[in-house]
Each structure stands twice: as C-alpha cells, then as structure tokens.
Amino acid sequence: MSESSSHNVRNIFIGSHTLGDGFRLIGFETLTDPDTAALDELLSKLLQEKQRALLIIEQSVNRLESKMLQQIRNEGGRIVLSEVPSLHESDNFQSELDETLKQLTGG
C-alpha cells in the first residue's frame, strides 16, 4: 500500500436524501434513505477491507437496528462515527454521547 493510500479516509454521510444533498456538496459519499441491508452491506465492506472512514449518520439511522453499526461502535478504531439530527427533528436530538457524558460528570 502506498503512503498516500494508507492515509485515505472515506467521508460518508448516511441518512435522508435532503440532508445528504448538503454533504454531497462538500464532497462526502452518501448513502441516502438506506434500509438495514444496504447499511450493513456498506459497513461490512468497510470492516472487511479495513478502510478508514468518517461516518456521519443521521439520527434516524439508529432506528434501523443495524448489528453492524453497533459492532463498529463497540470496536472503535479505523471507523469514526458522528451523529447529526434529522432536519425535521432537530429539537429532539439526543446523541448516545450525551448519556455517556452525563454518567461521567454526574449530570
């Protein structure tokens, strides 16, 4: 593997078509309105090929109950996950990180 390819990071947005348009404009790959099978296929490929990736996932993607998504959360490593609120539910946004921080800080 060449030095330049060893540092490649795929930037991928996973969520609604509407929000995906914005991420596409700034150069992200997008997987819009995925079902569980499509999400798991992408995540499996990232893991199998040991690719580095920044995944921005829309909050609604958590409702898909993807086992692969949970596996990536538990493993950490080459794939970094960040969650963003849905456009139409931004007031109700709660990240899993919020709960972890509350536990750590006693809040």
Which pLDDT score, from 0 to 100, does residue 103 have? 65
Instruction: Please give the model's pTM, rounded to 2 decimal places.
Output: 0.78
> Using one digit for the tens of pLDDT, what is the confidence trace for 38-72?
999 999 999 999 999 999 999 888 888 888 988 88
Q: How far is CA 6 from the centre of its chain?
A: 21
Domain 3-105 has CATH 3.40.640.10: no
- Predicted confidence at residue 1, as pLDDT, reads 44
User: Where exactly are the structural domains of the chain?
Assistant: 3-105
What whole-number distance in Å separates Cα of residue 86 and Cα of residue 92?
Answer: 9
Pairing of strands 9-15, 79-84: unpaired
